[in-house]
Amino acid sequence: MAVKNLLKKERVEFIQKRLDELYPETPVPLHHRDPYTLLVAVLLSAQCTDERVNQVTPALWKLADNPEDMAQVPVEKIQEVIRPCGLSPQKSKAISKLSKILVNEYHGKVPENMAALETLPGVGHKTASVVMSQAFGHPAFPVDTHIHRLAQRWGLTSGKNVVQTEKDLKRLFPRENWNKLHLQIIFYGREYCSARGCDGTVCEICTTCYPARKNPKKTKKA
């Protein structure tokens, strides 16, 4: 009897169930104390590992861990501390500018508003989504390159870009699961379905969803 791949509805149900089993708890990988330190940590994580960010932020928080103090720190000093994260010239300027904006326009508070967050220097849609979901608890589905890749391997999106992938995932999974699921997929990707460790034919979720898949799944970059 021919082996059949799961239907999309079956894939969605299996993925949700298996991720809940593997990752019942989803601690935020980036160390932070409040919405501001999370915002800065997420900004630093662009093209950098969470592990590296967590190594760098303690020294940064010693310099300043709130918008008022950070706004007073020279950009060169911020850049010196965050250099190991990469893109330090752009990131240090963004941290300095957004801190000044928070002080001048938002009474030193991170706005609990997606549109307002997206206007801050260095803060794109993904970073704003992470802050809205993980700092404020609003349903959001931040999609990075890893989630984009896994969603394609699992047949959940056509994979044109991260915007399309976010829309597709939001449509497939219940709103109340988004915040947790975003982290569960990241954890699973790192542990079992990494860029080099799986090509769509190796890990448990890929092989369960697509038992008939013979060739590696080519994914489109975000």
* Catalytic sites, residue numbers: 126, 144
Give, as one character, the DSSP assignment of residue 135. Answer: I
| Cβ–Cβ under 8 Å, residues 121 and 101 | yes
Listed residue (189, 209, 176, 191) closest to 148, CA to CA: 189
User: Distance between CA 145 and CA 62 in Å, rounded?
Assistant: 31
Helix crossing, 75-82 with 88-105: angle to 10°?
A: 130
Listed residue (154, 144, 133, 156) closest to 199, CA to CA: 154
User: Distance between CA 50 and CA 29 in Å, rounded?
Assistant: 7
Give, as one character, the DSSP assignment of residue 177. Answer: G
The secondary structure of 89-155 as a DSSP string is: HHHHHHHHHHHHHHHHHSTT---S-HHHHHTSTT--HHHHHHIIIIIT--------HHHHHHHHHTT
CB atoms near residue 212 (< 10 Å):
9
User: Distance between CA 176 and CA 41 in Å, rounded?
Assistant: 25
